[in-house]
Amino acid sequence: MAERVIPLIDQRLAALGARLPAGAVPATGLLADTLGRPLRDLRISVTDRCNFRCSYCMPKEVFDKNYPYLPHAALLTFEEIARVARQFIAHGVRKIRLTGGEPLLRKNIEALIEQLAVLKTVDGAPLDLTLTTNGSLLARKAKSLKAAGLQRVTVSLDGLDDAVFRQMNDVDFPVAEVLEGIQAAKDAGLGPIKINMVVKRGTNEHEILPMARHFKGSGTVLRFIEYMDVGATNGWRMDEVLPSAEVVKLVGAELPLVQLEPSAAGETAERWGYADANGQHDAAAGEIGVISSVTQAFCGDCNRARLSTEGQVYLCLFANRGHDLRSLVRGGATDEELASAIGHIWQGRADRYSQLRSSMPADSGSAMRRVEMSYIGG
């Protein structure tokens, strides 16, 4: 078998240097990119490590025991993360999501949450602070996360059938322990909880209806995500994508649905509520969401930036390069200079990969240059 190429290290080394612009970019909370999109959402990866080996994210044959993870000294400290986050908030960020890898593997993650939980938006409102996890450590961590100031969690769960779930996480982890973690999060008040299910045709599409039945009426929002061509190591193929329209049709045939309005500007999920006998949304039954980044691009109002665990800013989940902020953070830049550099980066943003995907040549090789989802979070 030919040796697989791991492009992730090359991507880390090839980061663009974040520079101080000639003219300052003031932090007014009104920052916009070249397409007029504001900056409202910051995803912060706190580790590039994970204890699962899901084939669509960190396939075991690539991320094996010899894989060179980032050394601890390369990671932003919690204080550095909080400092960078403050400058993003000054430009208009209202929501921060902690991701990984698996963020609960970062030692003393509660200390970072405490530092972020006290921050306010530019208009003085509480920050929307959430975290995405595979749920494996949630049962033991839920109470301490809530006590530290975390508001809610999103849990990745790709099926209820134990054999299917163990196959997908590829480390033989039982689904029962993730369900225990979800219940612990609910008991701790980390809600409303969202469940993300990546649907891969030929692997777990038969779990769609069991998942919908299980979480209907639970107060938990289940979201189905199209299998995406992130990174270069998951062997993505279009024929393994199950379009969200088919998911809605499948669920709606048994559990009637009614389409709901977006919950916020830039929302990635299309919302569908369970309908009552009169065809109206039954709030007690809840809702599902579908995230269609392959078949229905939502680039037009994307307001998210991503900060890697070593301080690189990525402007798109499908980006091939980041902008190195760590050199400024550790090089003596003032807060005003750091905010100005962030503003300059966002003002130059023109990313809209999902809208352009269908027009790209099949042999363009663009996949070999994209950053891995395990490095910057989903």
Q: Does the residue 161 lie in any domain?
A: yes
Q: Does the residue 352 lie in any domain?
A: yes
Question: Which DSSP state fits 125?
Answer: P
**Six-digit token string for 137:** 């450590």
152 pLDDT band, cuts 50/70/90, is very high
d(CA 73, CA 256) in angstroms, rounded, equals 52
Q: Please check whether residue 52 is in contact with residue 136, taking contact to mean a CB–CB distance below 8 angstroms.
A: yes
Range 346-371 average pLDDT: 62
Q: Does the residue 45 lie in any domain?
A: yes
Range 25-33 average pLDDT: 92
d(CA 54, CA 357) in angstroms, rounded, equals 24
Q: Phi first, then psi: what are they for 41, rounded to 5°?
A: -130, 130
Q: Does the residue 112 lie in any domain?
A: yes
The b/e string for 119-152 (b: 16+ C-beta within 10 A; e otherwise) is: bebeeeeebbbbbbbbbbbbbebbeebbebbbbb
Task: Show the domain range for 131.
Answer: 8-191+302-376
Q: What is the pLDDT of residues 255-270, one digit of tens each?
A: 999 999 988 776 788 9
Give residue 137's identity as a one-letter amino acid code.
Answer: L
CB atoms within 10 A of CB 80: 15
229 pLDDT band, cuts 50/70/90, is low
236 pLDDT band, cuts 50/70/90, is low
pTM (2 d.p.): 0.89
Q: Please check whether residue 50 is in contact with residue 309, taking contact to mean a CB–CB distance below 8 angstroms.
A: no
Across 94-108, 155-169, 343-357, 363-377, least confident range: 363-377
Three-state secondary-structure class, residue 104: helix
pLDDT mean across residues, the chain: 88
Across 18-27, 51-60, 124-133, 182-191, least confident range: 18-27
Range 67-94 average pLDDT: 96
* 254 vs 375 pLDDT, higher one: 254
Q: Does the residue 278 lie in any domain?
A: no
**Six-digit token string for 184:** 């612990």
Residue 345 has pLDDT above 80, yes or no: yes
Residue 87 has pLDDT above 50, yes or no: yes
pLDDT at 238: 78
User: Percent of the chain scored above 90 by pLDDT?
Assistant: 70
pLDDT at 360: 53
Q: What is the pLDDT of residues 282-341, one digit of tens each?
A: 999 999 999 987 777 668 888 999 999 999 999 987 777 899 999 999 999 999 999 999
Structurally, the chain folds into a number of domains equal to 1
| List of residues 6+ apart from 300 with CB closer than 8 A | 35, 37, 352, 355
How far is residue 55 from each of residues 14, 18, 109, 244, 373, measured CA to CA in Å? 26, 33, 26, 20, 12
How deeply is 363 buried, as exposed, middle or buried, from its count of CB atoms within 10 A (0-12, 13-18, 19+)? Answer: exposed
* 186 vs 351 pLDDT, higher one: 186
Q: What is the pLDDT of residues 270-280, one digit of tens each?
A: 999 999 999 99
Any alpha helices (H) in the chain, and if so which ranges? Answer: 8-13, 78-90, 109-117, 138-148, 162-169, 175-188, 208-215, 244-254, 326-329, 335-347, 353-356, 373-376
* 85 vs 360 pLDDT, higher one: 85
CATH number of the domain bearing residue 144: 3.20.20.70
Q: Does the residue 182 lie in any domain?
A: yes
pLDDT at 319: 77
Q: Does the residue 28 lie in any domain?
A: yes
Rounded to an integer, what is the distance from CA 179 to the centroid of its chain? 20
Q: Does the residue 177 lie in any domain?
A: yes
